[in-house]
A = this chain, B = another copy of it.
Amino acid sequence: MDYVYGPGKSHLFVLGPVNIPEPVLRAMNRNNEDYRSPAIPAMTKTLLEDVKKIFKTTTGTPFLIPTTGTGAWESALTNTLSPGDRTVSFLIGQFSLLWIDQQQRLNFNVDVIESEWGQGANLDILAEKLAANHSHSIKAICIVHNETATGVTNNLATVRKLLGKQWMFIPVWAKQQVHEVKAITDIDFCWVHIIKNRLAVEAWGLKNCTQREEWYSDTVTAVLVPPYIDSAEIVKRAWKRYNMSLGLGLNKVAGKVFRIGHLGNLNELQLLGCLAGVEMILKDVGYPVKLASGVAAACAYLQTNIPMIPSRI
Contact = CB atoms under 8 A, between A and B. Distances in A.
A17 B34 contact: yes
Q: How large is the interface on A (under 10, 10 to 19, 20 to 34, 35 or more residues)?
A: 35 or more
A51 to B, nearest CB: 16
A276 B313 CA distance: 22
Interface in A1-28: 1-12, 14, 17-20, 22-23, 25-28
B27 A1 contact: yes
Nearest to A189: B7
Contacts of A224: none
B272 A243 contact: no
Contacts of A265: 7-9
Given A12-B31, A239-B37, A269-B11, A299 B308 contact: no
A94 B178 CA distance: 39
A103 to B, nearest CB: 22
Given A3-B46, A239-B37, A295 B276 contact: yes
Contacts of A217: none
Contact of A30 (B11, B26, B299): B26
B30 A22 contact: yes
Interface string A285-313: 00000111101101110110011110111
A38 B311 contact: no
Contact of A9 (B28, B39, B267, B313): B267
Given A4-B42, A241-B307, A269-B274, 15 more contacts: A1-B1, A1-B27, A3-B39, A4-B311, A6-B267, A8-B265, A9-B270, A11-B269, A19-B31, A20-B31, A20-B32, A36-B248, A242-B269, A243-B269, A283-B303
24 contacts: A1-B23, A3-B39, A4-B42, A5-B309, A6-B267, A12-B33, A12-B34, A14-B34, A17-B32, A17-B35, A20-B31, A25-B31, A26-B29, A34-B239, A36-B245, A66-B68, A240-B308, A269-B273, A269-B277, A270-B273, A280-B302, A284-B303, A292-B295, A292-B296
The 5 nearest A-B residue pairs measured at CB: A8-B267, A273-B273, A292-B296, A17-B32, A34-B245
Interface of A: 1-12, 14, 17-20, 22-23, 25-39, 42-43, 46, 66, 68, 186-187, 189, 239-245, 248, 265-274, 276-277, 279-280, 283-284, 290-293, 295-296, 298-300, 302-303, 306-309, 311-313
